[in-house]
Amino acid sequence: MIKTDILIIGAGPTGLFAVFEAGLLQLKCHLIDALPQAGGQLAEIYPKKPIYDIPGFPEVMAGELVANLMEQIKPFQPGFTLGQRAETIEKLEDGTFVVTTNEGIQHHAPVVAIAGGLGSFEPRKPLLEGLEGYEDKGVAYMIRDPEIYRDKRVLIAGGGDSALDWSIFLAGVAREVTLVHRRNEFRGALDSVEKVQELKNLGKIRLITPAEVVQVAGKDKLESVLVRRNSDPEEDILVELDAFIPLFGLSPKLGPISNWGLEIEKNAIKVDNTLDYQTNIPGIYAIGDVNTYPGKLKLILCGFHEATLMCQSAYQRIHPEKRYVMKYTTVGGVTGFDGSKKEAPKAVVKAID
Amino acid sequence: MSDIQISITDREGVVHAVEAPTDMNMNLMELVRAYELAPEGTIGVCGGMAMCASCQCYVLTGHALPEKSDEEEAMLSEAFYVKENSRLGCQIALKPELEGLSVALAPES
C-alpha cells in the first residue's frame, strides 16, 4: 500500500502545483493519473499550443509549463501512479482514506485532493456494431505492450500522431500492418508522415485511404474487418487480421469519481469556495477544473490558487494541534525532501568610505 | 450592440431561438455554453482549439460560413457522426452575416 499525506487525483497543472504548496508545509504528495504521463490536458491535447494568462509568463507553451512545474516540484519528491484510474474510495474509521485504482493499487492518505480536470481520458470508440464484444479478443483502443503484436496481422485506424507513430513502430514488429484513414491527409508531425510514406513505398505498411472500417467479424475472436474505400460499397476490401486498433483520440469522462458520494453539479464537484475547496465529504477536496462554485472559472491560474488554499486546510487537518503562519518563499527559502535548499542570497553589508 | 438571432437544436431535439452578440469575439460553441444548451463537460472540452470535436454541429441553413481550416478538416475526419454539413462550433465566429443561422448539435461521443 502506498502511503502519503495528500493523495492527489489528477496530475495536471493544478495537481502538480499542489505538490509544491504541500511541500512548503512539509507534506508529502502522491499523484494518480489515468494518462501515462503527467501534465493532463496540457500534455495530452495541446502540448505545443501557447498559453498567455499564466501570471509572469507573457507566453508559455503548454508542454513547457508542465516541464517547469515538474522541475519546481522535484525537490518534494512526489510519487506517481500513472496510466491507472482512481476507481474506489473507502473512508477508514480513523477518518483516513484508501483509494484503489483500476489495477488494484491501493493508496492510503489522510487527505484526498481531486484535481481531475474534466475527468479521466477514455479512448473514443468508433461506432461499429458488435465492436465491444471483441474487446481484448483482437480489439484494443490503446497499445500498452507492442510485443503482443509480434508476427501478427494488425490494422490501425486513425489519422493523428498515435495512429502514425504506432504504424511506424509496429511495421518493425508485426507481420502485416494496415493503416486506414478517412482522408489522404494525416494530422501528425511531418517526419512521422514522411516515415509512413517511406514504409508504404517499401511495402512495410499497407495504406488504405480514404477509407473506414465499416464492419467487424469473427467467431470467438476478431478475424476480419471490412474496409470501405471512397464510401463506395463496390470498393469494399475484406482484411483478415489478428488485431484491430482504432486510435481516434481520447475524451474525458468524470467516471468512477461520480459514484464517490460527492455532490455533483454540471459534471463538476461542488466545493466550499468561501474557505478551502473542501467537498461535502470532510477530508476530500476538489481543486481546478473539476470543481464548481458560484463564479467558478476554469483557468489554470485559478487552479493554482485553489491548490494553495487546499494545502493550508489539509495541514490543519493533518496537524490539528500545530500552530502555523504562512511564510514567503523569499524569506524561508525552499527546502526539499531530497536535502536540496534554495534560498535568497544574503544581502551584502559593506561600508562606503 | 448588434445581436443576431440563431436557432440551435440541442442533443435532445429541442429547438432554442437565442440572441447572439457579434461584438464579443464569441463563437458558436461558446454561445451554446453561454445558454447552457449542452451539459458542461460535454461541449468545448478542448476550449476551442479544434482538437476534440465535442462542439460538432450540423449546419441547417445555407449561410456562407468561413472555410474549414486544415485543423478543423482534420479533426472532423476523425470525429464520429460526421455528415456533409458538419462543422466545429468553435471555429464559427459569430458575425452579423450569420443572422438567422440554424444549427443542430451532433450527438455526444
Q: Which CATH code is given to the segment(s) A131-248?
A: 3.50.50.60
Q: Hey, how many other C-beta atoms are within 10 angstroms of the C-beta on B29?
A: 25
Grid cell for residue A5: 499525506
Annotated domain spans of chain B: 3-105
Rounded Cα distance between B23 and B95, Å, is 8
- For position A92, what pLDDT does the model report? 96
- For position A286, what pLDDT does the model report? 98
Nearest chain A residue to B33 by CA: give it: A266
Q: Does A127 touch chain B (CB under 8 A)?
A: yes
With CA atoms as reference, report the closest residue to A86 among A105, A67, A59, A71: A105
Grid cell for residue A197: 510514406
| pTM of the model as a whole | 0.83
Q: Could you tell me which residues are beta bridge partners of residue A248?
A: none
Q: Does B54 touch chain A (CB under 8 A)?
A: yes
User: 3-class SS at B47?
Assistant: coil
Q: Does A268 touch chain B (CB under 8 A)?
A: yes
Looking at chain A, the domain(s) classified CATH 3.50.50.60 span 2-121+251-342, 131-248
CB contact under 8 A, B77 and A181: yes
- For position A252, what pLDDT does the model report? 84
Mean pLDDT by 10 residues, chain A (353 residues): 98 98 97 94 88 97 97 98 95 97 97 94 90 95 90 95 93 96 87 94 96 96 96 95 93 90 93 96 97 96 98 96 90 94 87 86
With CA atoms as reference, report the closest residue to A236 among A218, A212, A206: A212
A277, A291 Cβ separation under 8 angstroms: yes
Architecture of domain B3-105: Roll (3.10)
Rounded Cα distance between A280 and A71, Å, is 33
Nearest chain A residue to B40 by CA: give it: A266
| A81 annotated as ligand-binding | no
Give the CATH fold of the A2-121+251-342 domain.
Answer: FAD/NAD(P)-binding domain (3.50.50)
A228, A144 Cβ separation under 8 angstroms: no
Angle at A333 between CA A330 and CA A334, to 5 degrees: 130
Residue in A49, A182, A267 nearest the CB of B39:
A267
User: 3-class SS at A44?
Assistant: helix
Distance from CA of A144 to the nearest CA of B (A): 22
Grid cell for residue A15: 495537481
Mutate to test the interface with A, among B49, B76, B78, B81 (most CBs of A within 10 A): B78
CB contact under 8 A, B52 and A249: yes
Distance from CA of A270 to the nearest CA of B (A): 14
Backbone angles phi, psi at A114, to 5 degrees: -90, 115
According to DSSP, residue A288 is labeled G
Mean pLDDT by 10 residues, chain B (109 residues): 91 97 94 94 88 94 93 89 96 95 95
DSSP string of A213-252, one letter each residue? EEEEE-SSS--EEEEEETT-GGG-EEEE-SEEEE---EEE
Distance from CA of A115 to the nearest CA of B (A): 15
Element holding A33 (H helix, E strand):
strand A29-33
- For position A316, what pLDDT does the model report? 96
Grid cell for residue B40: 458542461
Rounded Cα distance between A37 and A34, Å, is 9
- For position A45, what pLDDT does the model report? 83
- For position A235, what pLDDT does the model report? 94
Grid cell for residue A324: 502555523
Rounded Cα distance between A258 and A263, Å, is 9
Rounded Cα distance between A278 and A196, Å, is 50
- For position A143, what pLDDT does the model report? 86
With CA atoms as reference, report the closest residue to A86 among A251, A304, A270, A254: A254
